[in-house]
Amino acid sequence: MVLPKEHGTWMMFFLPYLLGMFLSGANWLHLFFMVGWFFVFLTSTPLLSIIRKPRYKAEMLPWVYKYSVIALIFVLPIIWIKPILLWGIVVISLLLGVSSHFIKIRQERSLWNNLSGILIFSLGGIAAYIIGQGSLTKDAIILLIITTLYFMSSAFYVKSLIRERKNTAFKRRSHIYHGLLLLVPFLLNIPWLVIAYVPSVCKDFLTSRKEAIKPIKIGIMEIINGLVFFIICLYVLR
């Protein structure tokens, strides 16, 4: 079975969707669609592996087919009930095209590529909102914004600890991004939401980049931070 290896992608899959599900009023359609959405998520790993290294096509293509069939079995009935979700397929296809482009030009680690991937996962929150509310609401758009900005802060932070650890200019950009992040809740007129971003900001400013930190430790910190963000958002946005 081919599974994503990056810990961050699992959090990016579950967090937006579960927030959208609980905030919009959970029902059985959410669970049915989540299974399909999960297999869409799994499909991306072998699919992008083929784009990244075509020699793996024979090995990975069967998994693309298997995951895709299961995804369609669970997703199509919900799209039949909520046809507005078809727009999500169009947007996700475009964003996958962006990711494919960055892979082909060997800039997969670009922050723009990170943003593309994050948007795909954050759209899961919008899908959950549509399933719960029946239409695309302002609250769904707000959820897309706050989760996308949160995961971009995580991308800045992790990159500044690993690939750009010795790049002081990048660390400064990460600090600037996190500082500006605190303004977002006030711009959205949800001032208490700032509490959800405070742990990320403190983490970015207080973590030393002088010595390398083991990826497993970074991963654990990000999982804990994600859970804190989830709980606070659930409380503030309800």
Quote the pLDDT of residue 194.
97
Residues 225, 129 share a domain: no
Residues 127, 63 share a domain: yes
125 φ/ψ angles, rounded to the nearest 5 degrees: -65, -40
**Residue linked to tokens 């991308």:** 155
Residues 67, 44 share a domain: yes
Residues 126, 8 share a domain: yes
Write the CB contacts of 23 (distance below 8 Å, at least 6 apart in sequence). 129, 132, 139, 143, 234, 237, 238
Q: Which of 135, 150, 165 is a domain's end point? A: 135
Residues 122, 15 share a domain: yes
H/E segment holding residue 67: helix 57-81
Number of domain units in the chain: 2
User: How far, CA to CA in Å, does 92 sit from each of 97, 98, 225?
Assistant: 8, 10, 26
Q: Which of 69, 103, 135 is a domain's end point? A: 135
Residues 127, 9 share a domain: yes
Residues 110, 35 share a domain: yes
Residues 99, 2 share a domain: yes
Each residue's pLDDT, cut to its tens digit, for the chain (238 residues) gives 777 777 778 899 999 999 999 999 999 999 999 999 999 999 988 888 888 888 888 888 999 999 999 999 999 999 999 999 999 889 998 998 888 888 888 887 888 989 999 999 999 999 999 999 989 999 999 999 999 999 999 999 999 999 898 899 999 999 999 999 999 999 999 999 999 999 999 999 999 888 889 888 998 999 999 999 999 999 999 8
**Domain, as residue range, for 28:** 1-135
Token pair of 135 as six digits: 């239409």
Q: Which of 82, 112, 135 is a domain's end point? A: 135
Residues 178, 129 share a domain: no
